[in-house]
Amino acid sequence: MKKFIIACLLILTACQPAATPTPPPASLLPTATVLPTPIPFTETPAPTPTLEPSATPFPQFFTNEFDAPLASWAILQAGNDSVPNVKVENSRLTLEIDSTYTWVYALYGAQDYDSVHVDTKFVNNAMSPASIGLICNYSDTAGWFEYNVTTDGSYNVLYGKWLSTGVADYLPVLNGATSLIQQSGVEQSIGLTCSNATLMLSINDTIVRSVEVSHYGLTSGKVGLTASSYENTPVIASFDWVKVGAP
């Protein structure tokens, strides 16, 4: 179990082998922070304090190839008060992290799903050890599931839940390793199905694991993307596309 502090902003419009990453010692766990300014994601950001869907209709199922500014997405950060560089350009969504032990999230805020499959193609451009992943069943009150693959060949599923405003616990659901995970600098895809209290994990179109998670009590929620840094920076995670559809 590890505790850290989350600082978050909502963007409603326009919005290696390498050394195995090690978890931060207790002395490096983050303290309470608030992002000082809106993330420079668009020319006219409109942050609000909640993940409530916009009045503008947005699709339930879609493929986003990042050819235009994002809409109804939330950007969240954990770890410290540095502002991540989040941008859409050259048909990619890029999350750039220049601080160590930092977690950045992009959540699609317009829809909740009780049964969903999410895929994305990405590359870690900076060659630093990093985790990149997918989120489903996200809820401000009930928590979320997070599926991460790490450039050392390992993967995990975490259950996160807020303890109080800005404070969350992460509980490990499962851990594993596979040669299917590519090194930094190589494009690859991952997928996550959340349906009927079961999570199914895939890497490069190959199913690697499924796990029954009914005892966590998460039955629906939002989906999203995530990237995190460890002891080395920068981390530059570029997402070529994300697909959200029925299982």
pTM of the predicted model as reported, rounded to 2 decimal places: 0.77
Q: Rounded CA gap, 28 and 31, in Å?
A: 9
Percent of the chain's residues with pLDDT above 90: 53
Q: pLDDT digits over 81-128, tens only?
A: 677 789 998 999 999 999 898 888 899 999 999 999 999 999 999 888
CA distances in angstroms from 100 to 149, 153, 167, 212, listed in the order given: 18, 20, 19, 33
Number of structural domains (the chain) is 1
Q: Please answer whether residues 88 and 15 qualify as being in contact, where contact means their C-beta atoms are separated by less than 8 angstroms.
A: no
pLDDT for 44 beyond 70: no
Backbone torsions φ then ψ of 140, nearest 5 degrees: -60, -30
CATH code at 7? 2.60.120.560
Query: Whole-number mean pLDDT of the chain?
Result: 79
Which pLDDT band, with edges at 50, 70 and 90, does 135 fall under?
Answer: very high
Which range marks the domain in which residue 151 is found?
Answer: 2-245
